[in-house]
Amino acid sequence: MRAIGHALLLFVVTAVLGAATHFSLGWLETTNFFAGPNGISVSRSTAYRVSSSEWLEFGITERGPIRLVSNCAFNRVTQHPTRYALDYELLDSSGEIIHSGRYHHRAKITLLRDPRQTGDDSPIAKTSYAGTNLPSSNSVEFWIEAPDLNVPGRLRIRVAEHPDRVVEVAVRAYQRNELSPRKAKSTWQRLSRRKREQLTRGSAVPSDWLEPFETTALASFTWRPLGPRGVENEDYEERTLLIVNDPELERYRVGTNAPVIGRVPKEGEA
């Protein structure tokens, strides 16, 4: 009986490992990331496609600075910075435009490679569109201040201009909320070590050495993601961005003959 039990346990473990390998490989094939010796650590971020003909709208229910983050997808890896522009309008509760403008971004792709690999191993883009073979630019952002906005309001975004090598632009919007000291203290206590390190980046001392009043000040502001208005796939299209966070990977300078796995050739290649 014990031998049968061990055999059944071995079968279950093998099946689980097989299923995990299957799903892992399927995910890697879908996202076009190669699997290094220890895999690759990535984070996901939801963004929304921006059109040049239709406005993408976000609902505003509270006052506070608005942060707009964007990425653009390329049809090929390029060594040169690329410029694209976004038009934006901020409307109050009556539908009146109280703030508008055009913001120009300078986008660039960051490529990474695994130093543990040997030979002409292919690099990967630090940011990529999930489910496609399109490399993405690094995230760029701008802020919109609207202290006199009568809520509820609307923020709408549209692509003003972009070069041919940019396939599409995706954005995500956040609004800053200020917390009370009590809530800020509770928020800090719930943060993971990674989040604490991100908040204290640039500080002279580690997060563990900060005084309570310093940690409360750091956690006093949160960024709340804004959702798009309308019906999905009719008024807006969702995109998933994958950002590589693996500390083992190093920057890769474009210009060698090494191809980029899962990508179309870079400029100048056949």
The percent of residues in the chain predicted with pLDDT above 90, rounded, is 23
205 and 233 fall within a common domain: no
Domain of 97? 30-177+222-265
Predicted pLDDT at 103: 92
At a CB cut-off of 8 Å and minimum separation 6, what does 259 contact? 122, 265, 269
SS3 for 164-180, per residue?
CCEEEEEEEEEEEEECC
Q: Which tens digits make up the pLDDT trace of 17-46?
A: 333 333 233 333 333 444 444 467 788 889
Q: Mean pLDDT throughout 228-242?
A: 92
Predicted pLDDT at 47: 95
Q: Is 20 among the domain residues?
A: no
Among 27, 128, 111, CA closest to 73: 128
Q: Mean pLDDT throughout 38-57?
A: 87
How far apart, in whole angstroms, are the C-alpha atoms of residue 252 and residue 18?
33
Q: Is 154 among the domain residues?
A: yes
Main-chain phi, psi angles of 133, to 5 degrees: -105, 30
104 and 64 fall within a common domain: yes
How far apart, in whole angstroms, are the C-alpha atoms of residue 45 and residue 242?
7
Q: How many domains does the structure of the chain reveal?
A: 2
122 and 252 fall within a common domain: yes
Q: Is 22 among the domain residues?
A: no
Q: To the nearest 10°, the Cα dihedral for 14, 20, 23, 26? A: -80
Predicted pLDDT at 120: 55
234 and 215 fall within a common domain: no
Q: State which of 80-84, 97-101, 119-123 shows the largest mean pLDDT.
A: 97-101
**pTM, 2 dp:** 0.69
165 and 120 fall within a common domain: yes
